[in-house]
Chain A
Amino acid sequence: MKKDSWVASPFMLWVVIFTVVPLAMVCWYAFTDSTGAFTLANIETIGTYWGYLKDSLVMGAVATVLCLLLGYPVAYVMSRASWMAQQTLMMLLMLPQWMNFLLRTYAWMTILENNGLINTLLGKIGIGPFHMINTKGAIILGMVYNFLPYMILPIYSVMEKIHKSLFEAANDLGANRVQTFRRVVLPLSLPGVITGITMVFVPSVSTFVISQMLGGGRNPLIGDVIERLFVGAAPNYNVGAALSLVLMVLILISMAVMKKFDDGEETGGLMM
């Protein structure tokens, strides 16, 4: 039967040419100069971009924590609802995701602008105007808005699988609702939380669209810097590749840390 595995060869060829080779090229560009000679200069210039990198990591982390705090209770409520309500809420949650995220972000532009909807409405009752667009807060709001469902869905899908008998058992053993939540639901939902965190953190840290639309280019993130270095007026693929490499490595490290944390939970139960 082993000989049948040849049907996977188009896929293997495709992955090598369009995934492995491009990533190798990122590494190659990161460690060479414009003439193709080996250099560490690109990696060294990253120091000058540290501010953008730090801003991206901090704002991505804040957005992720907010998504977790806002999304976890929703996932819990959904998982405890009736079957029909669960299906409906699922659909309601997915529906906005089917609209292009540029349009969803654009919607917030029109709401937060200086003469946007909020300020117009507040103006009618004599308050404001407030300056909301082009701030870090607006960018974080955009991240939370766009990626909140990515937090809710994985948490919901693990919570929904928690068997009813576990609640009954906890109840029979004298646990109250808070104890049941802390000892049963919370530990069992952790894999979903981990998935949710990565699904929100990765796109938040690497975004350049949200920061451009809601930050007005005044709070550039690392994604904006990379974008400028590749398609801007003065492109520099070498530095851009070095920054992308750093971004990739940082994300891989944070995912590895999360994974470790997850494994530790399953066996150790350090949480409580």
Chain B
Amino acid sequence: MKILSRIYTGLIFLFLYAPIVVLVVFSFNQSKSRSVWKGFSMRWYENLFRDHMILEALWTSIEVAVIAAIVSTVIGTAAAVGLKKMNKGLRSVMLTLNNVPMVNPDIVTGISMMLLFVAVFGTTGLLRPGFGTLVIAHITFCIPYVILSVLPKLNQMNPSIYEAAQDLGCPPFRAFMKVVIPEIMPGIITGMMMAFTLSLDDFVISYFTSGSTAQTLPMVIYSMTKRRISPKINALSALMFVIVLALLVVINVRQIRDMARRKKENY
């Protein structure tokens, strides 16, 4: 039984990783073929770094993700704080609306915002579809995740410490910055990281809201898969995979070590 379940889990993970291994292996292929191995080469990596369109799109993606992460974190954190103080009826309405971009299919979120941008641009000349609309769209789908990661931290917080700070003569805003913010910081950071990665990874919503002037990396990848495919994509995938792997290992190893230590202390 134990062996069977191990084999089964192994097979599922093999299924999850095999395509990635194939991608990475063929990124080093000498020839353009994606199925016949013709010897080791780094030429696709060299080509990748000479491709201005890809590099520019990568830069756009990072810019959009940084702006979207910062703005959505500020708006979302303030929203979470405000939501807690709101009367129940309004709060549940706002929380439901907050869920809309998360439960709606991406394609519907994308086309609905596209309709708004096209209409506003058509009637007023403002919000020309491009970088600006892309950023707005990304902020919109990031905010819900920030709110949902900050709210639980606010709920866990003991409200008396905020009151205690004020009783000891701290002005409300300062008490908020010195007491509440540090307390909910883990939630804020999680929310910001989620916003950043979601923004970096998004294709569908960007595809509908960016017009033709701004291209993010996933959009370039999409257009590359539609044209004659070059192993440059393989090289790009391999690089991205290695970067993510490194980041995740660093974060997780630290976290696991931390948790293991805490577990030991508890016993």
Considering only CB atoms, which chain B residue lies closest to A71 in the complex?
A: B12
Are A6 and B225 interface neighbours, CB within 8 A?
Answer: no
Knowing A8-B81, A99-B241 are in contact, say whether A208-B107 is a contact too (CB < 8 A).
yes
A14–B97 CA distance with the chains assembled, in angstroms: 11
Q: With a CB–CB cut-off of 8 A, which chain B residues contact A107?
A: 19-20, 22-23, 237
Question: Could you say which of A4, A99, A248 has the most chain B C-beta atoms within 10 Å of its C-beta?
Answer: A99
**A5 contacts partner chain B, Cβ-Cβ < 8 Å:** yes
Please give the distance in Å from A120's CB to the nearest CB on chain B: 4
Known: A5-B85, A8-B86, A98-B244. A244 touches B221 (CB 8 A): no
Closest to B204 in A: A209
**Size class of B's contact patch?**
35 or more
Q: Which of B48-56, B71-79, B183-191 contacts A (4 or more CB under 8 A)?
A: B71-79
Q: Is the CB of B15 within 8 A of A237?
A: no
- A227-265 vs B, Cβ < 8 Å mask (1 yes, 0 no): 100110000010011001001100100010000000000
Give every chain A residue within 8 A of B106 (Cβ-Cβ).
Answer: 203, 206
Neighbouring B residues of A248 by C-beta, 8 Å: 104-105, 108
In the assembled complex, how far is the CB of residue A17 from the closest CB belonging to chain B, in whole angstroms? 8
Asked if B97 contacts A4 (CB within 8 A), the reply is no
B35 on interface, CB distance cutoff 8 Å: yes
A10, A89, A103, A120: which has the most chain B beta carbons within 10 Å? Answer: A103
One of A84, A120, A237 near B115 (C-beta < 8 A): A237
B65 CB contacts on chain A under 8 angstroms = none
- Which residues from A are CB-within-8-Å of B81? 4, 7-8
Is A128 interfacial (CB-CB < 8 Å)?
no
Is A9 an interface position by the 8 A CB rule? yes
Q: Kindly supply a per-residue 1/0 record for chain A positions 68-112, scoring 1 wherever the CB is within 8 Å of any chain B CB and 0 otherwise.
A: 001101100110000110010101111110111111101111110
What B residues does A205 contact at CB under 8 A? 105
User: Which residues of chain A are within 8 angstroms of B266 by Cβ–Cβ distance?
Assistant: none
Query: Residues of B contacting A14 with CB < 8 Å?
Result: 75, 139-140, 143
Counting chain B CB atoms within 10 Å of each CB, the highest count among A19, A25, A203, A248 belongs to: A19
Q: How far is the CA of A230 from the CA of B107 in the complex (A)?
A: 11
- Flag whether B203 is at the interface (Cβ < 8 A): yes
Q: Is the CB of A203 within 8 A of B19?
A: no
Measured in the bound complex, the distance between the Cα atoms of B103 and A251 in whole Å is 9
- Residue in B34, B217, B236 whose CB lies within 8 Å of A113: B34
For A94, list chain B residues within 8 Å (CB): 248
Shortest Cβ gap from A74 to chain B (Å): 5
Nearest residue, chain A, Cβ from B240:
A99
Q: Which of A25, A99, A117, A213 contacts B34 (CB 8 A)?
A: A117
Total A residues in contact with B, Cβ cutoff 8 Å: 82
Most chain B beta-carbon neighbours within 10 Å: one of A5, A10, A109, A148: A5
Which one of B8, B107, B197, B241 has the greatest number of beta carbons of chain A within 10 Å? B107
Would A11 and B79 be within 8 Å (CB), given that A110-B35, A111-B22 are in contact? Answer: yes
Among B17, B75, B98, B112, the residue within 8 A (CB) of A22 is: B112
Q: For chain B residues 228-249, which have a beta carbon within 8 Å of chain A?
A: 229, 233, 236-237, 240-241, 244-245, 248
Distance between Cα atoms of A93 and B14 in the complex (Å) = 11
Q: Which residues of A contact B6 (CB under 8 A)?
A: 77
Which residues of A have CB within 8 Å of B137? 18
Q: List residues 101-158 of chain B with CB under 8 A from any CB of chain A.
A: 101, 103-109, 111-116, 118-119, 136-137, 139-140, 143, 147
Known: A71-B12, A120-B36, A244-B108. 18 other contacts (CB 8 A): A6-B82, A8-B78, A22-B109, A22-B116, A23-B100, A25-B112, A84-B256, A89-B9, A98-B201, A98-B244, A101-B201, A103-B23, A106-B221, A145-B19, A205-B105, A206-B105, A208-B107, A247-B105
Q: Return 17 A-B CB contacts under 8 Å, by A number.
A: A11-B78, A18-B113, A25-B116, A73-B8, A77-B6, A93-B16, A96-B17, A98-B244, A103-B221, A103-B236, A110-B26, A120-B36, A145-B15, A202-B103, A202-B105, A223-B107, A247-B108
Top 9 closest A-B pairs, CB basis?
A: A8-B82, A11-B79, A206-B105, A107-B19, A22-B112, A110-B34, A7-B82, A98-B244, A120-B35
- Chain B positions near chain A (C-beta within 8 angstroms): 5-6, 8-9, 12-13, 15-20, 22-23, 26, 34-36, 75-76, 78-79, 81-83, 85-87, 94, 97-98, 100-101, 103-109, 111-116, 118-119, 136-137, 139-140, 143, 147, 197, 201, 203-204, 207-208, 217-218, 221-222, 225-226, 229, 233, 236-237, 240-241, 244-245, 248, 252, 256, 260, 263
> Which chain A residues have a beta carbon within 8 Å of chain B's beta carbons?
1-2, 4-12, 14-15, 18-23, 25-26, 29, 70-71, 73-74, 77-78, 83-84, 87, 89, 91-96, 98-104, 106-111, 113, 115-117, 119-120, 145, 148-149, 198, 202-203, 205-206, 208-209, 212-213, 223, 226-227, 230-231, 237, 240-241, 244, 247-248, 251, 255
